[in-house]
Structure 1
C-alpha cells in the first residue's frame, strides 16, 4: 500500500508531516525482549534533534498516557508542535459516540 518499513528512527521521521508515538506498555514487556529504558529512548525516543528532521510544522501525536523521557522528551511533549491533549480529548468524545451508536442510540444531527 505504499508504506515503507524502517527500523531507523531518523529515517522514519525525515520529512514527516506527522510523528505518531505510542506508549510503551512496560507492564506487559518481558525483560528479555525489551531493551533498557536508556537504550530504547536513545534509539526510538523522540527528542528535538530527531523532530528537527521532520517538516518544520510537523505535528506530534501520542494517545497517552505518556512516559516522559522514554517515548519522547518533555521538551517535545510540551512544544507547540505537540497536539497530544487535543488528541486525547477528541479520542474520548469519539469513543463515547461509538459506544452510544453501537448501544442502539440514534444518530441524528438535529438532536
Structure 2
C-alpha cells in the first residue's frame, strides 16, 4: 500500500512525475541528514530537524517547484518571492532539462544557512 508521500509522486502525470522524482533525489543527495516527511499535505524535507524545503506544483503555471523554507535568506536570481514573506520558490519546467548545477548550488546555499546553527 502506498503512503500519502508515495501517492504525491505517483498520482502525477508525466513529465511532472519524473521532474518531481528527480527533484526529490537531488534534494536527498545533498546531505545524508536530510529527511522527508509528509507535512501540510506535501513532501517536506528537513535538515537536522529544521524545515529545509518542500516540493509542490505552482497553481498558476502548473509547474513543479522547490520551495525553500528560509528563502528570504537566500540570494539567487532564479528564486521567486511572489507573495511569501519567508519562502522563495524555484520553478522548474518539466518539459526541459533541469539545470542540475544551479539547483544544487541553491540547495547547498540553503544547507550552509542551516549548518551555522
TM-score by length of 2: 0.26
Task: Decide which structure has greater helix share.
Answer: 1
TM-score by length of 1: 0.27
The structure with the largest alpha-carbon Rg is: 1
